[in-house]
Amino acid sequence: MPKTILVTGAGRGLGRTLAEQCGARGDAVIAHARSEEALDGVPCERRLIADLERPEAIEDAVAGLGIEHLDALVHNAGIAHIAPVGGQELEWWQRTMAVNVVAVAELTRLLLPALRASGGHVVFVNSGAGLSAGPGWSSYAASKHAVKALADALRGEERAAGVRVTSVYPSHFKTDMQRSVREQFGSDYDLERATSVESIAKAVIDVLNAPSDMVVNELRIEPPNPLPIRPRA
């Protein structure tokens, strides 16, 4: 059954692939990006244009779309800046928490009436860094731990209203972000040992289309033979 699905960060990376796969299935995609141009070629019915570094601006952008029913909200957009705590600048803490946490909470709040109206599903694309934090990961891992908490609270709050909540915890998959993180760590990157975006997108779509008498609350995903992120000797 076709769904109406809002995907954040749909201009590139996992979000774009997810929007493409949903569009190919016949779902009505509401694609989010921070510019119209970023969505060139993305199959979508409507567009939500908002810079998530400015969570205070999301309300007007969402109101302009008049979304009354929403089957799924996929929080995919995210940023990662790698640095030790002693070198992590205030600006990066603020940007990371704005995009990865505050905007996610605000968009969820604004769309909850539409999600409740449809018995909808909220998917948080989290990370292995949302479950444990190693050196260099502080701001990103803190943001993803916060999103885990947001998802866990939401699940309990909205269960009776029929809203499902899933946190997906991928290890690593082939995108600009993974390449950037490897560069920031000075780590080797073997594309053959990372999961493809197509596989992660398929997993998200499977979660959204699980039988109605079950919900996947959490999903952990990693490549079969992952290459650890480790600075070159």
User: Is 120:70 a contact under the CB 8 Å cutoff?
Assistant: yes
Of 83, 182, 178, nearest to 138 (Cα)?
A: 83
C-alpha–C-alpha distance, residues 233 and 231, integer Å: 6
Site membership for ligand NAP, residue 38 (CB under 6 A): yes
Stretch that binds ligand NAP, among 4-12, 63-71, 81-89, 111-119 (CB under 6 A): 4-12
* Smallest gap from residue 1 Cβ to ligand NAP (A): 26
Quick check: 122 binds ligand NAP (CB under 6 A)? no
Please list, in sequence order, all residues whose beta carbon lies within 8 angstroms of the beta carbon of residue 149, skipping any fewer than 6 positions away.
none
Distance CA 122, CA 19 (A): 15
Alpha helix positions (H), 159-189: 176-185
* 176 part of the interface to ligand NAP, by CB under 6 A: yes
The answer to the question of residue 99 lying near ligand NAP (CB under 6 A) is yes
DSSP H or E run through 104 = helix 103-118
| 68/217 with CB nearer ligand NAP | 217
Is residue 145 a contact point for ligand NAP (CB under 6 A)? no
Q: Which of 70, 120, 178, 208 is in the footprint of ligand NAP by CB under 6 A?
A: 178
Nearest to ligand NAP of 68, 188 (CB atom): 188
13 lines the binding site for ligand NAP (CB under 6 A): yes
List Cβ<8 Å contacts ≥24 apart for 36-41.
38/10, 38/11, 38/12, 39/10, 39/11
Q: From 46-54, 155-163, 203-211, 212-220, give the range in contact with ligand NAP by CB under 6 A.
A: 46-54
Distance spanning both ends of the chain, measured CA to CA: 52
Does residue number 104 form part of the binding site for ligand NAP (CB under 6 A)? no
Question: Using CB under 6 A as the criterion, which residues of the chain lie in contact with ligand NAP when the complex forms?
Answer: 9, 11-15, 33-34, 38, 51-53, 76-79, 99, 125, 127, 170, 172-173, 175-178
